[in-house]
Structure 1
């Protein structure tokens, strides 16, 4: 049986993935998303890094069929750019998308994937695609997300009643845990202070004993 504390941590992680900045459903016209930025945060690449770490996992959770590639480079002077690819042709639910079949036609090992060696820069749009870009350099992650939502027309996923209740419970547990840590820290500090004072008293008593011999 799973430990209750471990189970609660797993549920908290799942809730964090389902809700928060980036929890949104993309319109069917979006075929893929590509991010390019540097591995290190300096020179204006902090915002893209935070968007990648905090928002992109939620976008992928809610849109698992949309390829989302991240191409990073060692060059911090390079641009930080997001490329959003849109299908120009009308989507017919009764016909398979020719664009999707193009993307997946190569063997898996030969398909583009995320890279930390600048191996896969943003490709040119395929026939029947258009691309919209977002300049992410020197931009906060919140602003990047706001522009992303505006340009894609994504729909924010609102938490359910149960999720709101669980989020409230998590917040209350975090507050209680912080209070418990503060109480324990004070107890430990008091014990250490008492031990130091006792050690000083013992040293003084020993010095007096030696002086009176």
Structure 2
């Protein structure tokens, strides 16, 4: 079993998903978010990839009922878009409709995907993840979540621990390199062949 302290540190590192840029609550009218971009970062798709990796997990954590889909293509000159689907304020909350009972034996849990056109389409090509987030905030009336003082203190402790760990790693690396150099010098002194 892994050390309990190590496990607690890893769990505390999940704090990044609760607060920070992208921790926002979307309006109730948002029914779906989808992104499309190149699977590599060439051609101005780096910001979209970073937004997908850093901001979308926070958005999904704060808005678990909003489906988020990602479509990645293999064309570096292809589009890099963020689609926002919205329902009308007085429309139904569930935009997906159940399939007909004759089509499937389990009609209560089977849903037909929403095929409506996106309400907002943002071109996110050659933008940084923070610019994409600003564009999303400007487009929608979102509520941004600020970190509590306890969370800020916890993040400061985690950063302190990370710096301390990096310093210890560097010391251990230097120790092992010095030990390896000493062993090689001893082999040279004995006249043995040294492999590099």
TM-score by length of 1: 0.76
User: Which residue does 1:102 correspond to in 2?
Assistant: 95
Shift of 1:168: 1.0
Does residue 84 (structure 1) correspond to residue 84 (structure 2)? The answer is: yes
User: Which residue does 2:7 correspond to in 1?
Assistant: 6
Counterparts of residues 1-213 of structure 1 (less than 5 Å): 3-13=4-14, 15-90=15-90, 97-98=91-92, 100-106=93-99, 111-112=112-113, 123-125=116-118, 131-203=119-191
Shift of 1:104: 4.5
User: Which residue does 1:93 correspond to in 2?
Assistant: none
CA distance in structure 1 between the partners assigned to 2:112 and 2:55 by the alignment: 24
Consecutive unaligned residues in structure 2, runs of 5 or more = 100-106
Instruction: Work out which of the two has the higher radius of gyration on C-alpha atoms and give 1 or 2.
Output: 1
CA distance in structure 1 between the partners assigned to 2:116 and 2:46 by the alignment: 24
CA distance in structure 1 between the partners assigned to 2:87 and 2:111 by the alignment: 23
TM-score by length of 2: 0.82
Shift of 1:123: 4.3
Compared with structure 1, are the counterparts of its residues 112 and 72 closer, same or farther at alpha carbon in structure 2 (3 Å cutoff)? farther
CA distance in structure 1 between the partners assigned to 2:112 and 2:68 by the alignment: 13
Compared with structure 1, are the counterparts of its residues 11 and 112 closer, same or farther at alpha carbon in structure 2 (3 Å cutoff)? farther
Secondary structure, aligned partner of 1:102 = coil
Higher helix share: 1
Deviation track 1:13-64 (CA, whole Å, cap 9, x = no partner) reads 2x12112221111122322212111222212222111111111111000011
CA distance in structure 2 between the partners assigned to 1:174 and 1:143 by the alignment: 28
CA distance in structure 1 between the partners assigned to 2:98 and 2:88 by the alignment: 20
Deviation track 1:43-88 (CA, whole Å, cap 9, x = no partner) reads 2222111111111111000011112121222233221111112334
Root-mean-square deviation (CA, aligned residues, Å) is 2.4
